[in-house]
Structure 1
């Protein structure tokens, strides 16, 4: 009995020493950790799903600390209180903002702290509580995390429907792929003929374009020639008419000025002169009508009249 009691005492003493050693190491570690970090409080509005104690705290994407606690904020249950420890020397400023950042696809999240403006003062630590407050970016904290489950559900539903669609149309897709492969093979085997056909089509198109340009040029030249001919004919006709009018006027003046002498000396010739005057006036009227016709239809001098004769019943 005495030997067994000694072994029990020795074992208990050894276990006590081991427990004391672990406690001392843990206490020293907490003392060192507390001495080298600054504590901050963050009040998040909405969901903080994915945050857990010992989670990461990031500053511009760099790990600078850890999450201490995640709890409901007692004065306002709509908010969540997250206490974090950040390494000393990290410049958390008054306008720095905290948000929830997704870490991979595991569903875990981290606290992301922005750098803020360099000329702003550092966040002030309250002497009473021993921590400073960091404002939150409401646009990036709760809304994105709340929408993430719904987004993942929609993505999952999309892939499920896609798999069902592919499975139900597998035969059709295989036939379509086979037809596409056959069509590609035909094109590949006849690529020389296809190149020739395309070149011929391009040549025909170019020929049509050249012919159209030549036809347009010919039509413009014909219009120009006809216009010049019409103008020259009209000018010549007008000059002739002016000359004939001058002759007629001189003839009338001669007849009027010498009518009495002609009556005395050549009474028998008066009728012939009168007839000549009438003929001259008739010629003048005919030339007037000709000039009017030329003004209305100049091309009739070159191609004849285009007037359609009236129908004469048999």
Structure 2
């Protein structure tokens, strides 16, 4: 038997077995294919390391391939993910940093991706598609605690200002004034009770007076209606009287126009008659016989003679 041939066969077989083992270890025909995605974090990624798992709703879908600072903004961290091809990374998919259990090992959790959302694509200016990130629970808690601490600090300052020496003195004076007022009210308790009782009786009397006013108002209303009716009747009578006065006035004017001239002539003649009667009376008084014998001729006076 040729030992050299047997030894060579064993060496070749061992090499083949080692090669097959290495091939299988590296994935071989079952090796998965990955797509690269970017994510930009605005918070610290402490605890996250290269080859940290990337999960989608708790299922391992890839690994963190690279972690580096953004050259243009050191406050941001650029993460490069290698995610299994076929994973439904869509436009509304978001990435968030999480820690696993009590060990504090950080990993990246992906979530989202509605059925009608479009697959995430590379946009102009970027080498890979960029997955949107949201603050982690630790970052949110830190923000809340920072805000609460700021508010507590402000409240503490306000309380210190409220409890200043001036405010404490004013508060003490106010308490003393309140005590004085309380003692004064207590000392006048009987007077206050009497005033309250009087006020109650006044309200009761007012209520009765209000009840009595109702019928009085009704009677006043009926009297007002009667006065209004009488006024309306008086107005109608006034209109009728006006019409009567107008008619009488027209008759008086017509009587005056027709009768006045006749009366004037009659009065004139009566004046003439009266003058004549006066002269007759005077003659009778001076010479009553002249009425029967006529007028006697007066003899000529001295120096008067007959005309030749």
TM-score past 0.5 threshold: no
TM-score range, shorter-chain basis? Answer: 0.3 to 0.5
TM-score, normalised with respect to structure 1: 0.39
Larger Rg: 2
TM-score, normalised with respect to structure 2: 0.40
